Amino acid sequence: MRAVVFDGTLRLDPDYPDPVPEEGEALVRVRLAGICNTDLEIARGYLNYRGVLGHEFVGEVVAAPDHAWVGCRVVGEINAPCRHCATCQQGNGNHCPQRTVLGIVGRDGTFADLLRLPLANLHRLPDSLSDEEAVFVEPLAAAFAILERVTVRPSDRVVVLGDGKLGQLVARVLQGVGAHLTAVGRHPAKLERLRAAGIAACQRDELPPERADVVVDCTGSAAGFLDALQLTRPRGTLVLKSTVAASLSLNLAPLVVDEITVVGSRCGPFAPAIRALATRRVDVRPLLSAVYPLTEALPALAKAAQPGVLKVALRP
Amino acid sequence: MRAVVFDGTLRLDPDYPDPVPEEGEALVRVRLAGICNTDLEIARGYLNYRGVLGHEFVGEVVAAPDHAWVGCRVVGEINAPCRHCATCQQGNGNHCPQRTVLGIVGRDGTFADLLRLPLANLHRLPDSLSDEEAVFVEPLAAAFAILERVTVRPSDRVVVLGDGKLGQLVARVLQGVGAHLTAVGRHPAKLERLRAAGIAACQRDELPPERADVVVDCTGSAAGFLDALQLTRPRGTLVLKSTVAASLSLNLAPLVVDEITVVGSRCGPFAPAIRALATRRVDVRPLLSAVYPLTEALPALAKAAQPGVLKVALRP
């Protein structure tokens, strides 16, 4: 099959071995795959990953232990836990120390014709949901992850830092809570997309000086954390969504003096994301910047890294 | 009056002006003052504080707007908020942006013959509590602050990093929850004091590799945070108690990937601390290393900085 492989350099392999499903796994033909900033980080060497890139996808089941799934259009959760260890038995399979992660840790990803995933990871899609919308399920679930861990009150002042792919989705999710929400970004076109969704959006220097109850860092930059820390009120909550490979020099004393809570947040629940898309409570259609054929994956990844660009997808 | 003053260098001033109470404030004669690591940091230039050092004390009220307080033996909360701003009205006076803080921000401290504090900050002491015990009320309240912000479950595995002044108190407070608690330190004599209080205590390299549900960093070192992060299980909680002036180079990605919650924690409630001392639920008597006369404050501060030493107090 064709696959986008990172083995120190990034290349399109026209003849990569087809995946061979293991016990309990389905074989899925990829219909559409989304490019995430984590893919861009991995292509720079983050996590020392080697294999097929990509973890966002919509696909069709080709083979499965339960034949009722064959032919179904699906999305899939990216963590494949062992299901036996103490962490799994406590319901924290996403943190299983033995887990593989689609396109991120020890498991070939979605920028390919085919992939394999445990059947337990798959979610059927309603027919009403287009591939172009459903490819947002995984990152939208990551946005919903915030509300799984942090109580955001309707009376809270909330600031989302970053108007990129993730910030756009996080702002739309938090909008649902009814809080006083402001999204902050740098790109006029991206800010305009937020405003079109009914979300107050501004440049950083236009933000009122008053510190917020909840600040979500979706900047994707190490420096974003420092800015987020300054924007969080004493006893407020800073949610860290960006996985940034870079280190930064940090004095943690303000975090103690202001008694701030910092919550790291990663993958989230798929069902709320599918519901929000199916009902168009979250309308992601304005967020798809471009669809490239899989054979044009390298230009597509370059495109996804450009300022002003939102989601770029690959169609095998 | 006599006072230990920091104005870039540290000195004992035999003739510092007596404090003049403002409206609502009491004048207090200091009976005993405790030395905290924050005092040592301030004496190195932390926070650019200028004035009389010290924030832990037991004293006797000399003058007060309500004469019923005169003659009472008291301890005092260190934050003096404006009581009018939005932060104060939300009940977060300890975070009032206009606040002064005894011996830390814009208000002369406790290493002196006399101090002034708002009457509202004072707490009367039961006669059963000696000065040598009551001088621990403020730092013990800071240890109780953890339980004001974090739910520590009896079934949790808890690690307290640091066997110094604060770590000793934090371990004793968390012992009360009934969790599986291990205190980690470097000094055999300090670990022995923890064990004598019924707390499992060990050197860092003796700690089992299993990560803990709750880790409290009381190391007082910037590097302690990194160690605490490695010791916290995915979705666990890291409580940061040390205010360290130093910066460290930090990659925050593990915090996101493991979805860890970091809680900064500072000052705490006095009433539970007084109760715990009065009932000897927390017995601090083994934690007082030395009492120096105020005139010996400089050698006392040097003593407090030595490894193996716990609380050092000054008696005016």
The verdict on a CB contact (< 8 Å) between B257 and A264 is yes
pLDDT band at A222 (very low <50, low <70, confident <90, very high): confident
Chain B contacts of A266, Cβ < 8 Å?
256-257, 259
Segments of chain B with pLDDT less than 70 = 245
Would you state the pLDDT for residue A213? 96
CA of A197 vs chain B CAs: smallest distance (Å) = 28
- The per-residue pLDDT for range A59-109, each reduced to its tens digit, is 999 999 999 999 999 999 999 999 999 999 988 999 999 999 999 999 999
H-helix segments, chain A: 37-42, 86-89, 131-134, 137-149, 165-175, 188-196, 222-231, 253-257, 270-278, 297-304
Residues of B in contact with A149 (CB under 8 A): 259, 261
DSSP 3-state assignment of B260? coil
Q: Say how far apart CA A48 and CA B122 lie, in whole Å.
A: 57
| Confidence band, pLDDT 50/70/90 cuts, at residue A221 | confident
Q: What is the mean pLDDT of residues A274-291?
A: 95
Residue showing tokens 């390919």 = A112
- CATH annotation of A140-264: 3.40.50.720
- What pLDDT was estimated at residue B245? 64
> What's the pTM value of the predicted model, to 2 decimals?
0.89
Q: Is the pLDDT of residue A1 over 70?
A: yes
pLDDT at B45: 85
Backbone angles phi, psi at B217, to 5 degrees: -90, 105
Distances (CA, A) of B36 to A52, B116, B161, B270: 54, 20, 17, 17
Q: A271-281, pLDDT tens digit by residue?
A: 999 999 999 99
The reported pLDDT for the residue numbered A165 is 93
Domain boundaries in chain A? Answer: 3-135+284-315, 140-264
pLDDT of residue B232: 97
Helix (H) or strand (E) holding B192: helix B188-196
Q: What is the ipTM of this complex?
A: 0.84
- The percent of residues in chain A predicted with pLDDT above 70, rounded, is 100
Pick from B251, B258, B264: CB nearest A264: B258
The pLDDT, as a whole number, for residue A245 is 64
Q: Tell me how close the Cα of A87 comes to any Cα of chain B, in angstroms.
A: 9
Q: What superfamily does domain A3-135+284-315 belong to in CATH?
A: Medium-chain alcohol dehydrogenases, catalytic domain (3.90.180.10)
Residue A218 has pLDDT above 70, yes or no: yes
Angstrom distance (rounded) from CA B6 to CA A170 = 48
Beta bridge partners of B33: B57, B314
Q: Give SS3 for B99.
A: coil
Lowest mean pLDDT among A25-29, A219-223, A254-258: A219-223
Q: What share of chain A is helix, strand, coil (3-state, %, to 5)?
A: 30, 30, 40
Report the chain A residue with the minimal C-alpha distance to residue B226.
A252
Entry field: residues in chain B: 316
pLDDT value, residue A2: 98
In this structure, what DSSP letter does residue B23 have? Answer: T
